[in-house]
Chain A
Amino acid sequence: MHELREDPVPAAPPEGQRRGRCIVVTSGKGGVGKTTTTANVGVALASTGARVVLVDADVGLRNLDIVLGLEARVRHHVLDVLEGNAELDDALVSDKRVPTLKLLAASQTREKDDVDTAAFKGLIDKLRERFDYVLIDCPAGIEMGFQNAIVGADEAIIVCTPEVSAVRDADRVVGLLGERVTVKLIVNRLRPALVKRGKMLSVDDVNAILRLPLLGVVAEEPGVIVSTNKGEPIALDAASPTGEAYRKIAGRIVGTDTSTPEIPREASFFGKLFGGQR
């Protein structure tokens, strides 16, 4: 179990030496919603007017582009840039909806071990000079892909679902991130009805073990699946409570929202009946 580490916002960079914040989204365990979180937090951050670049570090299993609905626009990927086969500007994909959002896609036909760690860190440093936020979508696991993804980051968002396996892996990853990185937690896919009946770990249960500053809680909602089907991040849906949860998370990252993260409650009967997307 880890010491609670408090660190709100990093110190502002000196004039003329701009340096954006680099945040890695990680979890250890796969399938907990890292890519969905990266996409939605990125979209929500960029919607505030901040310049945001999302970097897909999951080389070999590229997914961030399809979740964002930008798969048809990708021409070059991160290894093209690292190996000098493409200019950075040509590889950055502009988002259709939010002008300040860019994507650097992962390479689908290559392997994680093909990424040179020092070169990747150099690329991240370069991006930090040009963007306010560099969000890195980390691959599952704790091998080379993970090591590369965290090398340039000084902040991390741990995505954890209320499951024993996800909590155990998150605990391991927090240990591996070490003291250098400021770590915060998003509890994802919470099902309030199950928590109420004692059939699912609560946010408090999860954080009694991880003991991290809580950035937000995202409930499981069919709307997330629907929005992923369409390639339209739910953070852009003004009517969705899940979209609102991501916007609040973005506000807490920026520092404009100082409210304590709220725990989602069970939707009412009428809410279930009439709410929801198709």
Chain B
Amino acid sequence: MIEFLKRLFNPEPSSVTARERLRLVLLSDHLALAPDVVESLKSDLIAVISKYVDVDADHCDVTFEQQESVVAMLANIPILGMKPTARAPRPAPPPEPPPIADPSPASASVSVSKSRRRRRRKASVNAAPAPG
């Protein structure tokens, strides 16, 4: 509500809007113009996920999508099953990997968003060590 009133009485200058729109569109442009970078990102991503689960590397799909205020990376990586040797993240190792119940591949959809600069700044403030 306060945010709404702020916007009503003190609207964002159009140059700020222009700056933000340009930032997003250029991010998309540069990703579209660098297929080799996207391809290498995709294979790294698959390699990392493969450390934990068996994935269907032939049917992985990584795309970028420009949304209202972010450019999002959408990764569709079909999971075939758990790795027999997979361990849960530290500190508590599980006794045994769970048995594979469903043989049909599950699909994980990961969405990583590049947050807006303003939010990022806020986050970094929050992450700063507490005084004293």
Contacts and interface: CB of A to CB of B under 8 A. Distances in A.
Interface of A: 1, 164, 167-168, 171-172, 175, 195, 197-202, 205, 208-209
B15 interface: yes
B33 interface: yes
Given A1-B30, A168-B29, A175-B33, A205 B15 contact: yes
Contacts of B33: 175
24 contacts: A1-B30, A164-B18, A164-B21, A167-B22, A168-B22, A168-B25, A168-B26, A168-B29, A171-B29, A175-B33, A195-B15, A198-B14, A198-B15, A198-B16, A200-B15, A201-B15, A201-B19, A201-B22, A205-B15, A205-B19, A208-B19, A209-B22, A209-B23, A209-B26
Contacts of B30: 1
A174 to B, nearest CB: 11
Given A164-B21, A175-B33, A1 B26 contact: yes
A209 B15 CA distance: 14
A61 to B, nearest CB: 27
A214 B77 CA distance: 45
Contacts of B16: 198
Nearest to A163: B18
Interface string B9-20: 000011110110
Interface in B4-46: 13-16, 18-19, 21-23, 25-26, 29-30, 33
Given A1-B30, A168-B29, A209-B26, A199 B13 contact: yes
Contacts of A164: 18, 21-22, 25
A179 to B, nearest CB: 15
A2 B47 CA distance: 29
Nearest to B19: A205
Interface string B65-95: 0000000000000000000000000000000
A205 B15 CA distance: 9
A175 B26 CA distance: 12
A171 B14 CA distance: 21
Interface of B: 13-16, 18-19, 21-23, 25-26, 29-30, 33
Interface of A, secondary structure class, is: helix
B31 to A, nearest CB: 12
A175 B25 CA distance: 15
B26 A171 contact: yes
Contacts of B15: 195, 198-202, 205
A109 B74 CA distance: 50
Contacts of B19: 201, 205, 208
A164 B13 CA distance: 15
Given A1-B30, A175-B33, A199 B14 contact: yes
A195 B16 CA distance: 11
A168 B33 CA distance: 13
Nearest to B27: A1
Nearest to A171: B26
A172 B34 CA distance: 12
B9 to A, nearest CB: 15
Given A1-B26, A171-B29, A198 B13 contact: yes
A1 B14 CA distance: 22
A168 B21 CA distance: 10
Contacts of A201: 15, 18-19, 22
Nearest to B12: A198
A171 B23 CA distance: 11
B113 to A, nearest CB: 19
